């Protein structure tokens, strides 16, 4: 992906990035997260609506790396889509952690429940 394509997608609003996320994950069959040197995944906290934690996810390594920026401790890590759908979503649901789909450089993000994202991804897969 060229820098121009990357920048154009990152400039989209949260809803448009959510649609790009579904399209790319449907095609590539993987979800990307950020992990630190101790293999702990990045989890963020939002103070909105009484506060909640969420797992930020991206549709490609380039977007996750762009979000990490100069933080040399964070590296993109791929999760195969079947594993994400079966294990990760259930674990996040159990732990009360929401999902931040495709956070942008301005930290804007589409927040969703794990079960809702699972349904959206399954709907996307049914189109293929």
Alpha helices in 1-128 (DSSP H): 3-10, 14-28, 61-68, 81-83, 89-95, 114-126
With CA atoms as reference, report the closest residue to 119 among 75, 88, 89, 76: 89
Number of domains in the chain: 1
In this prediction, residue 1 carries a pLDDT of 81
Across the chain, mean pLDDT equals: 93
What value does the mean pLDDT take over residues 81-100?
96
Between 69 and 80, the more confident residue is 80
**The CATH number of the domain where 97 resides is what?**
3.40.1350.90
State the pLDDT confidence band at 28, using cuts at 50, 70 and 90. very high
In this prediction, residue 49 carries a pLDDT of 65
Residue 84 has pLDDT above 80, yes or no: yes
Say what percent of the chain tops pLDDT 90.
Answer: 84
Tokens standing for residue 114: 């794990």
What value does the mean pLDDT take over residues 71-95?
95
Q: Are the C-beta atoms of 9 and 20 separated by less than 8 Å?
A: yes
Residue 82 has pLDDT above 80, yes or no: yes
**86 DSSP assignment:** I
**Cα separation of 40 and 9, whole Å?**
27
What domain range includes position 36? 3-126
In this prediction, residue 87 carries a pLDDT of 97
Backbone angles phi, psi at 64, to 5 degrees: -65, -45
In this prediction, residue 46 carries a pLDDT of 85
In this prediction, residue 110 carries a pLDDT of 95
């Amino acid at each position: 992906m060229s820098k121009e394509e990357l920048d154009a997608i990152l400039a989209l609003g949260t809803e448009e990035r959510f649609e790009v996320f579904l399209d790319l994950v449907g095609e590539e069959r993987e979800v990307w997260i950020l992990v630190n040197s101790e293999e702990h995944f990045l989890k963020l906290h939002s103070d909105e609506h009484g506060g909640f934690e969420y797992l930020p996810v991206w549709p490609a390594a380039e977007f996750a790396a762009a979000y990490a920026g100069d933080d040399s401790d964070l590296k993109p890590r791929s999760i195969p889509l079947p594993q994400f759908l079966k294990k990760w979503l259930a674990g996040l649901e159990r732990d009360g952690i929401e999902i931040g789909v495709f956070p942008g450089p301005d930290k804007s993000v589409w927040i969703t429940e794990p079960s809702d994202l699972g349904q959206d991804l399954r709907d996307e897969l049914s189109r293929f």
